[in-house]
Amino acid sequence: MSASLAHERKVAIDAVLRASKLCQTVFHNLVSTQAISKQDKSPVTIADFGAQAVVNSILHAAFPNDPIVGEEDSAELKKNEDVKRKVVELANSVVDRKLSDEEVITAIDLGTYAGGAKGRFWTLDPIDGTKGFLRGEQFAVCLALIEDGDVKLGVMGSPNLPVDLSNPDGERGCLFTAVKGEGAFQSTFTSPEAFTRIHVSTASTASATTFCESVEAAHASHGDAIDIARKLGITKPSTRMDSQCKYGVIARGDAGIYLRLPANKEYVENIWDHAGGSLLVHEAGGKVSDAHGKPLDFSQGRNLIRNKGVVATNGRIHDEVMAVVGEVLGAKKQ
């Protein structure tokens, strides 16, 4: 473990685990016990704000000079006293020192940094996979450290992900970490410090692997993915799940390909949706690029404006997959 990032890794793990616990509390108390309509996103709102407040307050206490690129700001929270009260209460249920209402608001708004090519900053997605969260399926708390546009550290908490995907009824709760140049690791929520090194699959042909893709069609083109799978000779059904859990599944070898092809020309990815996950796959021996084969560029602010789509593989089959991706996307332009 790099001495220079050992403290950052420890703090990030603590923050992600506490935020994950908060999200689990929200689900068990506000989602699973209520007959909420599909339009009611209040539990997600509460968990999003609470998780961001917790992570940002912990990061700021440890690294007061580090800016943060977060998904949320407090504007909505300031308009709703009831939601604010619940957020403050939840945040205080998982932190050591009680936070005042104002401290919670301030912590949330630490996430408004614009990002960029110079300096060091954190990027956070407090709940990646909001619909998966509401369904009681896959979501993740995702945190990454970026220096001069380069992802150096990623920590991802996946409360509902089975430790062994082949045993979906077994233990759940996976913690993934990666430091650039030092490999990728997984532990469990019950033993967060007992890390096991993980590696991508050893499959040398795409036909021997399976796809992992988004549940939500708004995020990725499922039709293109089906076409690509057919051309690659993949016959096994794809694994669909929300959030950066897909990166974790690729990194530990459960699947060989993660496709997130652009559903439309206007869609631009956010850096917090891919920073930690992409590092995890790279450090596990895989490869991540955009749909045109370019590396993901985290130096352009809050969005991946120089990239379109994402393709993650075990590395060995990346060129094979990219050739077919190019063929399918090229045919659509004609």
Residues annotated as catalytic are: 48, 130
Token pair listed for 93: 């249920």
Q: Which residues pair with 183 in a beta bridge?
A: none
Q: What is the DSSP string of 38-93?
A: TT--HHHHHHHHHHHHHHHHHHHHH-TT--EEES--SHHHHT-HHHHHHHHHHHHT
Q: In 3D, which of 281, 117, 123 has the Cα closest to residue 199?
A: 281
Q: Is 125 helix (H, G, I), strand (E, B) or coil?
A: strand
Backbone CA torsion sign across 147, 148, 152, 155: positive
> What letter represents residue 16's amino acid?
V
**Nearest-angstrom CA–CA distance, 22 and 154:** 20
